[in-house]
A and B are shown apart, each in its own frame.
Chain A
Amino acid sequence: MFTFAIKRFAVAIPTLFILITLSFFLMQMAPGSPFTGDFNMPPEILANLEAKYHLNEPLWKQFAYYLSDLLHGDLGPSFKYKDYTVNELVAQSFPVSLTIGSIAFVITVIMGVGLGTLAALKQNSWVDYTVMTFSMVGVVLPSFVIAPLMVLAFAVVLPWLPAGGWNDGSWQNMVLPVAAMAILYVAAVARIMRSSMIETMNSNFIRTARAKGLPNSHIIFKHALKPSLLPVVSYLGPAFVGIITGSVVIETVFGLPGIGQHFVNGALNRDYSLVLGLTVIIGALTILFTAIVDILYGLIDPKIRVGR
């Protein structure tokens, strides 16, 4: 198991390198520069600026600089927010996205798995149909529809909650973004969970468990839950990164100072180092969590562990 984990992480490193390389050069291919803006800069100043950020040197050298900085944990200065480094911007915004995301994630796991299991056990009853209708709606409606609708309903028509803003993380400000985010994932997880639970409940070893005389609750929790969770785990691993790094749409709708919002502004402002830095962070997290999922798989299913 340990060697399997080591091997899995070793494979992740070249993947990460390819990701960084690709993002770096794609970023360079984009037209324009952060300093070509609304006003014309004198060429001397532009040259100075470019020298400061090593932009006058050949590409491979820029890449080498970037890599060496990255190895020291430095994502470089932001081109647009001149007083900040990318590290500082991430350090400011990441906690916001992480808080919203973690709560949404916990809700997703509990409600998604719970509703999916319930629907599977009461297959083709009104419980099942209700849950599946809800998840169909949740999966089909994009977050840029759900989020404004929720603002309309619970902030404008019924003035219970603030329409947006962070307000140092007071719970009122968190309810709507968390809910908007969770709906999508709860719906997806409930659907996956339902179908895999139905499949497991029809399998031979569940029949054996019944014939052994085990009570229903024991059959569900001890025998059926673990194998049914496999597809959910493989969906949630990569999705987890998307959840905690913040949804671009939801943070924009609710005006939250999270990572997603920096992504949008960075792209609009041609703040290359910011966008690149965020891409690298999210990419690295995605690779990390995919690896963790693979290892979790081994823990859940002994068949995968053996033979590697």
Chain B
Amino acid sequence: MSNEPILKVRDVKVHFPIHKAKKWPWDKAPMLKAVDGVNIDLYAGETLGVVGESGCGKSTFARAIIGLVKATEGQIEWNGKNIVGLSEKDMNEVRKDIQMIFQDPLASLNPRMTIGDIIAEPLRNYYPETPKAEVLQRVREMMTKVGLLPNVINRYPHEFSGGQCQRIGIARALILKPKLIICDEPVSALDVSIQAQVVNLLKEIQKEMGLSLIFIAHDLSVVKHISDRVLVMYLGNEVETAKSEPMYADPRHPYTKALLSAVPIPDPKLERAKEIELLEGDLPSPISPPSGCVFRTRCPIADASCAKDRPILSDLGQEHYVACPKAL
């Protein structure tokens, strides 16, 4: 692994104006802070897991990296070059290297195209001069790689199961030989046994092609299985980042602790004996987040000082960062 990260994200924010919430047309629209300051470093061949409950900005963060939504502030450096604010045309050049697979496998495929066309499309788009026979051969190659039989090349997406559709999505993402694949909850719509197949497939392909992955999930056991590094998000904020092992062995932030204690253990005895740190209350609105630390309204160890300043990320050494002054 090289020492320079291929993807460097610094204090990225994605804010959406909520025009509907305006009382008068000349009022300033309140902002929904979907992502509010996230930093990551991702090295070649590594996997970053992103976890957090629904609505914490995981998907928005992923979409900001590939430019599907515009980052309002901050920097995203791809191979040392800032890609925030690039024109759609320049961004498409970056997308040669960064591809994305999505949560709902079937709905993410155009129902009116055969899967052969779906998989071949990125290739035809970026390299229109590729001879037809070669495109076909590459498509078959990719299909074999993701475990699809090449003879189904002329079928339509609705003729496949969810797991197969996700394999089609993976083949489509792989055909350009990208350097990074962003997986936005790729397995949450699938059965557990199929989840394992798809996750293992991603792992194998990663090893074989030297890919980096950003793997978004709300299932912590899946993330543990695949990630080298984990980012925990809460209400658009970065809460804790660490390498996978220290994170799971020694979580520092109260939110991370609560998340990890909620992971079910596949042994009924241990599961019953386990103590779960239940979080009280609901996720606050990202339109008017709590002052100071956004987690304080649900935090078991919060006190008056937490409402004052936004916690800064502190370095615990060994690339372990946590955004809670009490957790040091």
Interface residues of A (CB under 8 A from B): 203-205, 207-216, 218, 223, 226-227, 300-303, 306
Compute how far the CA of A294 lies from the CA of B159 in the bound complex, rounded to whole angstroms.
21
Q: Which of B176-230 contact A (CB under 8 A)?
A: none
**Known A207-B68, A207-B102, A303-B158: A212·B125 in contact at CB below 8 Å:** yes
- Residue on A nearest B107 in the bound complex, by CB: A204
Given A212-B99, A212-B121, A216-B88: A204 in contact with B112 (beta carbons within 8 A) = no
Interface size on B, residues (CB 8 A): 28
3 tightest A-B contacts by CB?
A213-B95, A204-B107, A211-B100
B108–A212 touching, CB < 8 Å: no
Residues of B contacting A213 with CB < 8 Å?
91-93, 95-96, 99, 122, 125-126
A226 and B112 in contact (CB under 8 A), knowing A210-B68, A211-B95, A213-B125? yes
Secondary structure at the A interface, as helix, strand, loop or mixed, is: helix
5 A-B residue pairs with CB within 8 Å: A204-B107, A205-B107, A207-B102, A227-B111, A302-B112
Report B-chain residues with C-beta under 8 Å of the C-beta of A205: 107-111
* A306 and B107 alpha carbons, distance in the complex (Å): 18
* B66-92 interface bits toward A, Cβ cutoff 8 Å, 1 = contact, 0 = none: 101000000000000000000011011
> A306 CA to B80 CA in the complex, in Å?
50
Q: How far is the CB of A292 from chain B (nearest CB, A)?
A: 19
CA distance A173 to B109 in the complex (A): 50
* Closest beta carbon of chain A to B18's beta carbon, Å: 14
Tell me, yes or no, whether B11 is within 8 Å of chain A by CB: no
Give bound CA distance, A216 to B169, whole Å. Answer: 20
- Contacts known (A211-B66, A213-B125); A301 close to B108, Cβ less than 8 A: no
Interface flag for B156 (CB, 8 Å): yes
Not counting A204-B107, A212-B172, A301-B112, a sample of 15 additional A-B residue pairs whose C-beta atoms are within 8 angstroms of each other reads A205-B107, A208-B109, A208-B172, A209-B110, A211-B66, A213-B125, A213-B126, A214-B92, A214-B122, A215-B89, A300-B112, A302-B112, A302-B158, A303-B156, A306-B158
Binding site for A on B (CB under 8 A): 66, 68, 88-89, 91-93, 95-96, 99-100, 102, 104, 107-112, 121-122, 125-126, 156, 158-159, 169, 172
Alpha-carbon distance A213/B126, docked complex (angstroms): 8
Known interface pairs A212-B125, A213-B126, A301-B112; A203-B107 also in contact (CB < 8 Å): yes
- Point out the residues of chain A lying under 8 angstroms from B96, CB to CB: 213
Which residue of A is nearest B172, CB measured?
A212
Complex Cα distance, B173 from A211, in Å, reads 9
Residues of A contacting B107 with CB < 8 Å? Answer: 203-205
What B residues does A211 contact at CB under 8 A? 66, 68, 95, 99-100, 102
Interchain CA distance A208-B66 in the complex, whole Å: 11
**A301, B158: Cα distance in complex, Å:** 11
Which residue of the partner chain, among A204, A215, A303, contacts B102 with CB atoms under 8 Å? A204
Closest Cβ of chain B to A163, distance in Å, is: 45
Task: Report the bound CA distance from A199 to B144 in whole Å.
Answer: 34
- Closest Cβ–Cβ distance, residue B34 to chain A (whole Å): 16
In the complex the two chains form, what is the Cα distance from A62 to B156 in whole Å?
54
- Return A273 CB to nearest CB of chain B, in Å: 47
B95 close to A215 (CB less than 8 A): no
CA distance A216 to B100 in the complex (A): 17
A215: chain B residues within 8 A (beta carbon): 88-89, 92, 125
B231 CB to nearest chain A CB (Å): 20
Q: Is the CB of B104 within 8 A of A204?
A: yes
B102–A208 touching, CB < 8 Å: yes
Interchain nearest-CB distance for A228 vs B (Å): 11
Which residues of the partner chain B approach A302 to less than 8 Å between Cβ atoms?
111-112, 156, 158
Of A205, A210, A213, the most chain B CB neighbours within 10 A belong to A213
- B66: A residues at CB distance < 8 A: 211
Contacts of A303 in B (CB 8 A): 111, 156, 158
B99 to chain A: closest residue by CB = A211
Nearest residue, chain B, Cβ from A209:
B110
Contacts of A210 in B (CB 8 A): 68
Assembled-state Cα–Cα distance A203/B125 (Å) = 21
**Residue with the highest number of chain A CB atoms closer than 10 Å, among B89, B92, B104, B126:** B92
Closest to A218 in B: B125
Closest CB-CB distance, A252 to chain B, in whole Å? 43
Chain B residue numbers with a CB within 8 Å of A306 are: 156, 158-159
Task: State how many angstroms separate the Cβ of A135 from the closest Cβ of chain B.
Answer: 23
Closest B residue to A216 using CB positions? B88
Q: How far is the CB of A227 from chain B (nearest CB, A)?
A: 6
- Specify the chain B residue showing the minimal Cβ separation from A226: B112
Bound complex: CA A209 to CA B122 (Å): 9
Q: Which residues of A contact B89 (CB under 8 A)?
A: 215
